[in-house]
């Protein structure tokens, strides 16, 4: 390579590299703390009667991970659904839950965990009296944060609207909640 080409290439690489870093979400390179009962960005919300606190955002991890701390107010849970692109890991912090993952049923209590692989239908329900708490972990984060933002503003969506919202975020509604 000629010296002039080498110098020109080197000089062009500096602004291109800087430009790319400016417009790419970068993995956060310093620790952060989120207090108990608080949301990462002070944007906690209620979705279907349950309180959600974002603890780790996909923005923190360059899309690799998203974690929610959820407080379940009443018995029950989401309908049978699947995530095409995310694995989901559950940690029971309080209460007792029944999970269906594929053809298997699992009963979890405080401290128990469950891994739900992507592409496998699943549902869960709080089965104990009083409040329950779950840590929901999505890997990769995908568009779960955007899904919850859109879903929480939908008031009484039709079945078709619900299915479209799930599809938009690479998920599929498949059936009923666990009884």
Dihedral sign computed on CA atoms, order 161, 166, 168, 169: positive
The CATH class given to the 45-177 domain equals mainly beta
Taking a C-beta distance cutoff of 8 angstroms, is the pair 85, 66 a contact? no
Residue 162 above 80 pLDDT? yes
Domain ranges of the chain: 45-177
Q: How confident is the model at residue 29 (pLDDT cuts 50, 70, 90)?
A: confident
pTM of the model: 0.83
Q: What is the pLDDT of residues 86-115, one digit of tens each?
A: 999 999 999 999 999 999 999 999 999 999
Whether the CB-CB separation of 72 and 116 falls below 8 Å is answered with no
Q: List Cβ neighbours of 77 (8 Å cut-off, separation of 6 or more).
A: 97, 123, 124, 125, 126, 177, 178
β-pair type (66-72, 79-83):
unpaired
Mean pLDDT over all residues of the chain? Answer: 89
Q: Could you give the 3-state DSSP secondary structure of residue 136?
A: strand
Q: Which tokens is 10 given?
A: 């080197």
pLDDT surpasses 80 at 56: yes
* β-pair partners for 134: 70, 92
Give yes or no for a contact between 52 and 45, defined as CB atoms under 8 angstroms apart.
yes
């Amino acid at each position: 390579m000629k010296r002039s080409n080498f110098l020109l290439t080197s000089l062009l690489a500096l602004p291109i590299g800087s430009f790319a870093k400016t417009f790419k979400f970068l993995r956060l390179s310093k620790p952060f703390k989120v207090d108990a009962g608080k949301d990462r960005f002070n944007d906690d919300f209620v979705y279907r009667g349950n309180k959600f606190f974002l603890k780790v955002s996909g923005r923190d991890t360059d899309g690799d991970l998203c974690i929610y701390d959820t407080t379940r107010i009443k018995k029950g849970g989401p309908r049978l659904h699947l995530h095409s692109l995310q694995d989901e890991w559950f940690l029971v912090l309080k209460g007792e839950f029944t999970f269906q993952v594929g053809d298997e049923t699992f009963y979890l209590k405080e401290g128990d965990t469950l891994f739900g692989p992507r592409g496998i239908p699943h549902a869960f329900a709080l089965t104990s009296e009083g409040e329950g708490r779950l840590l929901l972990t999505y890997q990769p984060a995908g568009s779960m944060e955007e899904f919850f933002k859109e879903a929480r503003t939908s008031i009484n969506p039709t079945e078709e609207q619900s299915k479209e919202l799930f599809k938009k975020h690479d998920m599929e509604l498949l059936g009923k909640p666990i009884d």
